[in-house]
Structure 1
Amino acid sequence: MRAEFGISQPAVSNHLKVLRDAGFAQSVAAGSRRIYALRGERMTEAQRWVDEQVGLWTTTLDALDTELHRGRRAASEEES
């Protein structure tokens, strides 16, 4: 595991547990192993939330950019 992915097996297990606990993955016991699968609907929900955040922050940061440009322009005009 470490040679191929640069992460130890216990670290992978911890990551999978976090994903499972958050509802992003499900597991099924197969003998002494657990088989994991991503839950697509949860990934879709997460993507929807990210898209909403991007929209919110894009608008907010665009407004901030506009105000910064106005401030620079005003400062430049005062220097002239």
Structure 2
Amino acid sequence: MANMFEKYAADREAEQKKIEQTVSEPAAAKQTTVSADAAPAEDEKRTTLSLSLTVSDKKALKMMAAERETTIAAIIHEWVAEHLEK
């Protein structure tokens, strides 16, 4: 009988390779647009937020953050800033 965790290990390894490829691409090949308004103020107090996401949404956010060379928190902050303007 095969190890019940083999599939999860293989999936995780494939995901890790994809992340490593994204991160290891030359920075010049990436186009990042981050507006100055979206960046949180350095002295602004931060708090912790517990967020429940689907596994696929979490993976997408992690990949997006890696591609933009930023954090998930910065992406969420940018989203909030954009939607406050509307």
TM-score (norm 2): 0.30
**Structure with greater proportional helix content:** 1
Query: If the length of structure 1 is used for normalisation, what is the TM-score?
Result: 0.31
Structure with larger RCO (C-alpha < 8 A, sep 6+): 2
